[in-house]
Structure 1
Amino acid sequence: MTRGLKPSTITPGTSPVMTVPPPPSYLSKDAKAEWRRVAPILILERKVLTVADMGALENYCIALGTMRELHRLLQAEGHVLPTGKRHPASTALLQTQQQQLRAAAELGLTPSARSRAALSEAAADDEDFL
C-alpha cells in the first residue's frame, strides 16, 4: 500500500514548477536519463510537480539509476559468489526496486497509481452531481 497524497489530490498552485530544470549534476548517467524522460511528463504534461516535490523526483531517479547499476553488476558478476553465497547486490537490488516502485507510485508513474487517480477523479465528479 502506498502512503501519501496521490497526484489527483495534490492541490495545484502551491509553487508549481513551470519549466523542466536540468537534472542535478551529481546524479548517475542512468538517473539523469530518467530525469530527462520523466520530468517533462510530470511538469509540462500533467502539471503536478511543485517546488516541494522536486526531492521526490530526485529520489525516484536515484532509485531507478541505482537499480540499473546493481542489475548490470549482477549480470556481470552473477547472483551467486564463488563462495556459494548470494551476491550482496541481490539484496540491494531488491530493496532499490521496492524503493523505486514506491517513489514511482508517489509521482503517479505506475499504471495502478494512475488508475487510482482516475477513479478518485471520477468519484469526485460524481459527488459534484449530488
Structure 2
Amino acid sequence: MRGRKPTPTRLKLVAGNPGKRPINGAEPQPTADLPTCPAHLNPSAKAEWKRLARDLNRIGLLTMVDRAALAAYCQSYGRWVEAERKLKETPILLKMPSGYIQHSPWLTIANKERELMARYMAELGLTPSSRSRLAVDVSATDPAIAAVWAQFDM
C-alpha cells in the first residue's frame, strides 16, 4: 500500500472533514461500548488504561475493536515505566567481565518501549500533533457526529 494511511472517518468528522473529501458511508461502525482493561497488563499499564480509556471512548476514538491497540500502548507504557525505575537503581553504562563497557539492558528496553509508545500514541490521537488536527466539543460529540452520520443514511 502506497502513500499515507487513510484517516479514519471518525477522525475526519471530529476534525470537521478539513480535506472536504467524500466520507466513506460504508465504513464499518464497531460497538461504541467502553472496552474492559485486559487482565494481563502490568500495574503501571492498568493505571495508564484507567487514565485514558474513558476519555478516548467518550470522544469516540476508542471502541470495542480498539481494545488491543490501547492495551498494546499501555503495556509498552508499563514496560517503559519499569525500565526507567530500574535505570534509577543501576548505572547506565556497565563494565563487562571482559573489560568492555556497554549500555545497560534497561536503557535499551526503555528506548525500544518509548519508540513503540510513540507509534501507538500517533495512532490513538495521544500526541499534541495528532490532537491538533481534532476539534472536539466533548459535551456535543455524540449528537453532532450522529447528525453528520445521518446525512449518509447510516
TM-score tier (shorter) = 0.7 to 0.9
Residue 47 of structure 1 aligns with which residue? 60
**TM-score using structure 2 length:** 0.65
Q: Which amino acid aligns with 1:16?
A: T
**1:1-130 mapped onto 2 (5 Å cutoff):** 5=7, 8-9=11-12, 14-21=29-36, 23-44=37-58, 46-83=59-96, 84-118=101-135
Question: Which gives a bigger RCO, structure 1 or 2 (Cα 8 Å, sep 6+)?
Answer: 1
Distance 2:129 2:81 in 1: 22
Deviation at 1:50, TM superposition (A): 2.3
Instruction: Give unmatched runs, 5+ long, in structure 1.
Output: 119-130
Task: State whether residues 14 and 50 of structure 1, in contact with CA within 8 Å, keep that contact through their aligned partners in structure 2.
Answer: no
| Aligned residues: CA RMSD | 2.4
Q: Which structure is higher in helix share?
A: 1
Deviation at 1:80, TM superposition (A): 1.2
Distance 2:77 2:62 in 1: 19
Deviation at 1:19, TM superposition (A): 3.0
Deviation at 1:90, TM superposition (A): 1.1
Aligned residues: 115
Residue 121 of structure 1 aligns with which residue? none
**TM-score using structure 1 length:** 0.76
User: Per-residue CA shift, 1:37-87, capped at 9, x if unaligned?
Assistant: 00011112x112222211110011001001000111111112112433211
The alignment-based identity, stated in percent, is 32
SS in 2 for 1:81: strand
Instruction: Give unmatched runs, 5+ long, in structure 2.
Output: 14-23, 136-154
User: Per-residue CA shift, 1:4-48, capped at 9, x if unaligned?
Assistant: 645614878712332352x2111101000000000011112x112
Alpha-carbon spacing, 1:17–1:109, altered in 2? closer, same or farther (3 Å): same
Task: State whether residues 78 and 87 of structure 1, in contact with CA within 8 Å, keep that contact through their aligned partners in structure 2.
Answer: yes
